[in-house]
């Protein structure tokens, strides 16, 4: 009876949570879920596809580095524009770039064309995610934020995120296996899904803006500098947030390549690894989000970080397919971690500065990820593939976590006139 009563209370609380959210939050959750479905379908094969078109590991690093670097440089501008002209137009521009990326991927005949596709992808991904995050941050109350973001990840990285790699593996098998011919059709399916998300945002998202009418803003750099006057601990957080994003450049572009080339993973094992990656936030995303809203963001991050380290160690050591899949499942904790980290990011500045603040964060994140992507390729070719993953663990353990220890908890705080006060 107690178990049934507890389950009933939990369902009631979740129902109440969903009912009190705004329409824009529902729209952006749906868009994120569809986008993640398309991405999870192609992600097991992106790096393998690039190498199959003639790239070395160093050149693969260069491809990712250029995409992230250019997107990072433009993040400041996109954040400023979101606060100036509103989220919707920038959101649509980002989705358009994603569509262009899928077109170039699908038509690529050599690895140099992938550079254009990757630049378009990172421009589109960062701009659309930036817009999505702005909507999410300003639509959710502090006490709902980690839960709301985790719920979004549960649907996006969970249900549809699990379906994507399974469908991808079936399509790759149908068209000839893990090679250029077998992988290419996935990009055209991704293009179709992206067009659907464009229409969704165009027709359903409001034109709401979050701006302050009390401050006249004349220029990009004055607006950006104003962010640091209103928030607290932002410089330390820039380093922490950038280090949190490091795996996007250093680990994930090489994860599937390592499993395929050194562990013999075929399209099904690659698909199961990504499915396992999606399973973790599906099952545990909301519980960890609720836990972060109860005991604090930092404590949950401390709990999750070692699991991601272990996933990399298992990948290196894996003697068989089952261990590769287990590694993929543990890697899913990374998405839970960045969701909780994102909740802290949103709680450091006032809502009218959210677009600029996220632009600044993304600028530093992507520049660091760009540098790490290139470094990872060089390490792979000259030192050894396994050192890519070992060095990533060391950087997280000895730099990010110590910096996080010195960061104040943000759960029970709100910003008022540039000062952090108890809520």
Residue 360 confidence (pLDDT): 85
Q: Per-domain residue ranges for the chain? A: 22-206+218-407
Helix (H) or strand (E) holding 207: none
Residue 310 confidence (pLDDT): 98
Q: Within 10 A of 24 (CB to CB), how many other CB atoms are there?
A: 18
Q: Within 10 A of 398 (CB to CB), how many other CB atoms are there?
A: 9
CB 238 within 8 A of CB 365: no
Quote the CA–CA distance of 120 and 98 in Å, as a whole number: 6
pLDDT in tens, the chain (423 residues): 455 555 565 566 666 666 666 778 788 888 988 998 999 899 999 999 999 999 999 999 999 999 999 988 887 777 677 767 778 888 999 999 999 999 999 999 999 999 999 999 999 998 888 787 777 767 666 666 666 666 666 665 567 778 899 999 999 999 999 999 999 999 999 999 999 999 999 999 888 765 554 444 445 556 666 676 666 688 899 999 999 999 999 999 999 999 999 999 999 999 999 999 888 888 888 889 889 988 999 999 999 999 999 999 999 999 999 999 999 999 999 989 998 998 898 888 877 777 778 788 888 988 999 999 999 999 999 999 999 999 999 999 999 999 999 999 987 764 343 444 333
- Our measurement of the distance from residue 403's CA atom to the centroid of its chain's CA atoms, rounded to an integer in Å, reads 21
Residue 2 confidence (pLDDT): 54
Residue 420 confidence (pLDDT): 42
What are the residues facing 420 on neighbouring strands?
415
Quote the CA–CA distance of 185 and 190 in Å, as a whole number: 9
Query: According to DSSP H, which parts of 184-266 are helical?
Result: 185-204, 220-230, 234-244, 246-250, 252-263
pTM: 0.81
Nearest to 340 by CA among 297, 294, 403: 297
CB 120 within 8 A of CB 101: yes
Residue 156 confidence (pLDDT): 57
- According to CATH, the topology of domain 22-206+218-407 is Growth Hormone; Chain: A; (1.20.1250)
Quote the CA–CA distance of 242 and 369 in Å, as a whole number: 8
Angle subtended by helix axes 142-153 and 2-19, to nearest 10: 100
Query: According to DSSP H, which parts of 86-184 are helical?
Result: 87-107, 111-139, 142-153, 160-174, 180-183
């Amino acid at each position: 009876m107690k178990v049934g009563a507890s389950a009933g209370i939990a369902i009631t609380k979740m129902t109440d949570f969903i009912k009190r959210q705004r329409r824009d939050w529902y729209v952006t959750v749906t868009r994120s879920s569809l986008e993640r479905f398309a991405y999870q379908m192609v992600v097991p094969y992106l790096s393998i596809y690039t190498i199959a078109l003639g790239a070395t590991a160093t050149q693969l690093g260069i491809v990712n580095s250029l995409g992230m670097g250019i997107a990072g440089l433009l993040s400041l501008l996109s954040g400023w524009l979101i606060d100036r002209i509103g989220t919707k137009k920038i959101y649509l521009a980002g989705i358009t770039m994603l569509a262009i990326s899928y077109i170039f991927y699908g038509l690529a005949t050599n690895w140099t064309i992938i550079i254009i596709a990757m630049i378009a992808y990172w421009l589109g991904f960062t701009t659309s995610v930036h817009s999505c995050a702005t909507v999410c941050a300003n639509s959710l109350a502090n006490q709902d934020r980690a839960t709301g973001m985790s719920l979004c990840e549960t649907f996006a990285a969970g249900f549809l995120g699990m379906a994507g790699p399974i469908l991808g593996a079936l399509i790759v098998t149908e068209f000839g296996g893990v090679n250029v011919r077998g992988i290419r059709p996935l990009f055209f399916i991704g293009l179709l899904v992206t067009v659907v998300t464009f229409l969704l945002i165009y027709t359903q998202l409001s034109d709401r803006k979050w701006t302050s009418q009390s401050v006249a803003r004349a220029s990009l750099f004055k607006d950006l500098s104003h962010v640091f006057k209103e928030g607290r601990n932002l410089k330390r957080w820039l380093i922490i947030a950038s280090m949190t994003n490091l795996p996007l450049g250093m680990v994930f572009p090489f994860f599937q390549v390592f499993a395929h080339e050194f562990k013999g993973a075929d399209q099904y094992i690659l698909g199961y690894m990504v499915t396992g990656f999606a399973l973790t936030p599906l099952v545990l995303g909301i519980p960890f989000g609720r836990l972060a809203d109860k005991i604090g963001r930092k404590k949950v991050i401390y709990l999750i970080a070692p699991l991601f380290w272990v996933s990399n160690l298992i990948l290196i050591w894996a003697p068989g397919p089952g261990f590769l899949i287990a590694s993929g499942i543990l890697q899913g904790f990374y998405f839970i971690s960045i969701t909780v980290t994102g909740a802290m990011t949103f709680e450091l500045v006032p809502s009218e500065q959210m677009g600029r603040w996220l632009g600044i964060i993304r600028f530093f994140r992507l520049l660091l990820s760009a540098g790490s992507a290139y470094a990872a390729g060089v390490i792979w070719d000259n030192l050894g593939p396994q050192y890519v993953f070992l060095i990533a663990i060391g950087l997280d353990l000895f730099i990010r976590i110590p910096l996080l220890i010195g960061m104040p908890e943000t759960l029970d705080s709100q910003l008022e006139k540039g000062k952090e006060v108890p809520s």
